[in-house]
Amino acid sequence: MLRNWAEPLKRYEMKKITADLPALLAAATLLFSGAPALAQSGGKTIDGEKLFQLYNSTTTPLGYRRHLERVFDKGRGRIAWSTPTKSGALLPAKTGGTVRRSDGAAVSVPPGALPRDLVVTISSPADGSPAEEAAKQAKRAAAGLTSASDPVQFGPQGAVLSSGATVVLPYSLMTVWRDGLNERGLKIYGWNRAASNWDALNSSVDFLNHAVLAAVSSFTVCQVFGAPRSSTSTASEFLTKKSGGKLVRADNASVLVPPGALPADLVVTISTPAVRGAFEEAVRARRLDAANLAAVSAGAVFGPESAPLSVPVTVVLPYDPKQVQAAGLSEMNLQIHRWNRDKQVWQWLPSTVDPANHVVSSQLSQFSFCQVLGRRPRAPNSR
């Protein structure tokens, strides 16, 4: 009987139903036309997700979609299904809602964000073209990123939201430990198919539940990536020209890159300065002595040094308060200086000292080697 087919659709946990696609379309029509029975489907199986895909499809005639809406029950937004790999729910555009998968992956859509009533899904992404899959791997490798979660497809793919939704992805703590990743630096990246690139999303880490949260403006494939724990000598981060971002080294040296500052998408680095040669090292030391300056930090090379900047970036360097005291310097007069390799001189930068955290910050208009320096007090004239 028709009622035997319709009843499973009214349950909140969608179960598999036996029907082929044409019969399913016909069933939605027959359900409200008073037909006493549903034709046999030939034993083919279709689950609730297929039904929702049919509802979302722009090729489904409007009349069928309206009938399917009625099949989904008058209390829309309540019908959902969830398995370890797939979850979905019909979310009204007016109220939004949340979809969760059994592994903890989730998406929360605020009221009014959807373009229309949609079945929002969480699933394992299907493989793209060989070229696209190769691009995903190449971009990840170029950015020095390591996956800390499986990729997750939030759908419908490409649906643009009028306001941001929040996605949640669980990560593997075992993977973080095994690969030596910086757990605090984990981020969700979204695959930008148009640009063929991974876009870093504004993310926060939930250490208690081993999950990362991020805001998204459209539905796409997302994945948690991390970088190996930065030593006190080197740190790197792939930053996009459009969004910029912040890179922090383990010793709290950092660089904040505003949107549009970079000439292109780049791997920005903070590293220990390499020894350029005995002559240049001697020149540096002579220039410090000539200006009566003393170094109170190891310094850092912000790179890539050859990259031109459209607008200044903010750099932060830590200093050693014990060195400040030993050299008899005034802590509040410390300044970041930039080594100008072309002119072979130290150039001071207007700086701000944070004595509570023992760091100095300044604006930098060109990536280069920087160091925290202080001016030594003049020795009294001896007679």
What's the pLDDT tens digit per position in 300-337? 899 998 788 999 999 999 998 888 888 889 999 999 99
Instruction: Point out the residues of the chain with pLDDT beneath 70.
Output: 1-86, 177-178, 228-233, 274-279, 281, 379-383
What's the pLDDT tens digit per position in 272-310? 776 455 567 678 888 888 888 988 887 889 999 878 899
- The tokens for 294 are 């003393």
135 plus 93 within the same structural domain: yes
What's the pLDDT tens digit per position in 38-60? 323 333 333 445 555 666 666 66
d(CA 362, CA 173): 36
Burial class (CB in 10 A: 0-12, 13-18, 19+), 8: middle
Query: Within a domain: residue 117?
Result: yes
Domain count, the chain: 3
271 plus 213 within the same structural domain: no
Tally of CA atoms within 13 A in the half-sphere of 248 that contains its CB:
8
DSSP of 329-345, one letter per residue?
--GGG-EEEEEETTTTE
**Looking at the whole model, is its pTM more than 0.75?**
no
Tally of CA atoms within 13 A in the half-sphere of 47 that contains its CB:
11
Closest CA to 272 of 233, 302, 235: 233
185 plus 287 within the same structural domain: no
DSSP label at residue 13:
B
Query: Within a domain: residue 13?
Result: yes
18 plus 141 within the same structural domain: no
d(CA 168, CA 224): 10
- Whole-angstrom CA distances from 349 to 44, 106, 340 are 73, 46, 12
60 plus 131 within the same structural domain: no
Query: Within a domain: residue 304?
Result: yes
Tell me the torsion sign for CA atoms 204, 256, 325, 279.
Answer: positive
272 plus 199 within the same structural domain: no
Query: Within a domain: residue 381?
Result: no
Name residues whose C-beta falls within 8 Å of residue 379's C-beta, 6 or more positions apart in sequence: none
251 plus 267 within the same structural domain: yes
| Mean pLDDT for all residues in the chain | 77
> Domain residues for 25?
1-73
Closest CA to 366 of 286, 255, 282: 255
d(CA 313, CA 349): 12
